[in-house]
Amino acid sequence: MQLTPRLLFAAYRQGAFPMGHDDGEIYWYDPDPRCILPLDTFHVPRSLAQTIRHGGFEVRFNTAFRQVMLACAEPAPGREQTWITAEILAAYCQFHELGFAHSVETWVDGQLVGGLYGVAIGGLFAGESMFSHRQDASKIALVYLVERLRTQGFVLHDTQFMTEHLRRFGAIEIPRAEYHRQLQQALTVRAVL
């Protein structure tokens, strides 16, 4: 089955998301437990707050979506293969053109040095992937994203799987059933990124 924006829209509304595998197939996931980043208890580590106050970077939204996805797909230490296949890249770029997929980018001296992308539907933001070519660049993008989500009325920030990186910001794991309950509430919210 071809990955299309219509299929992505339906899947996210049901709590599922795709990942490409080495065999060339796309598999669907709805993890239990599910990791979320509660917007009201989001924690910015002190050293990162100092970096943000120091400045020297620019944060932009939705100006380099494809470049962010391509950077997220690059091999990294401990991850030589990527789940972001050509089919996923094409489908999410179309989803972006329709206004459902978004990027947050950190720039220094006109160069893209970090960022993230994800999907926004109703009051849900589902984070997909992030990258950093400079220390803290993706973390800075995350801080700016969460601030935007708060001010724009989002109520659920899905991060899919727990990592130590996300745990430092206050991410928690909840049962799949609770995630689905929160998702249904979030889908009734009108929020715009």
**Which CATH number do you get for residue 159?**
3.40.630.70
Domain membership of residue 147 (yes or no) is yes
Please report the pLDDT score of residue 82 as a whole number.
Answer: 83
Please report the pLDDT score of residue 165 as a whole number.
Answer: 87
User: Tokens 């601030």 sit at which residue?
Assistant: 147
Domain membership of residue 86 (yes or no) is no
Domain membership of residue 68 (yes or no) is yes
Domain membership of residue 90 (yes or no) is no
Distance CA 61, CA 51 (A): 20
Domain membership of residue 193 (yes or no) is no
Domain membership of residue 34 (yes or no) is yes
Is 34:179 a contact under the CB 8 Å cutoff? Answer: yes
Residues whose CB is less than 8 angstroms from the CB of residue 149 and which lie 6 or more positions away in sequence, other chains included:
39, 125, 157, 191, 193
Domain interval for residue 161: 30-75+101-186
**How many other CB atoms are there within 10 angstroms of residue 34's CB atom?**
24
Is 98:5 a contact under the CB 8 Å cutoff? Answer: yes
Please report the pLDDT score of residue 78 as a whole number.
Answer: 65
Distance CA 24, CA 174 (A): 31
Domain membership of residue 84 (yes or no) is no
Q: What is the pLDDT along the chain (193 residues), one digit of tens a residue?
A: 789 999 999 999 999 999 998 888 999 999 999 999 999 999 999 999 999 999 999 999 999 999 999 999 998 766 667 899 999 999 999 999 999 999 999 999 999 999 999 999 999 999 999 999 999 999 999 999 999 999 999 999 999 999 998 999 999 999 999 999 999 999 999 999 9
- What is the tally of structural domains in the chain? 1
Domain membership of residue 11 (yes or no) is no
Distance CA 128, CA 157 (A): 11
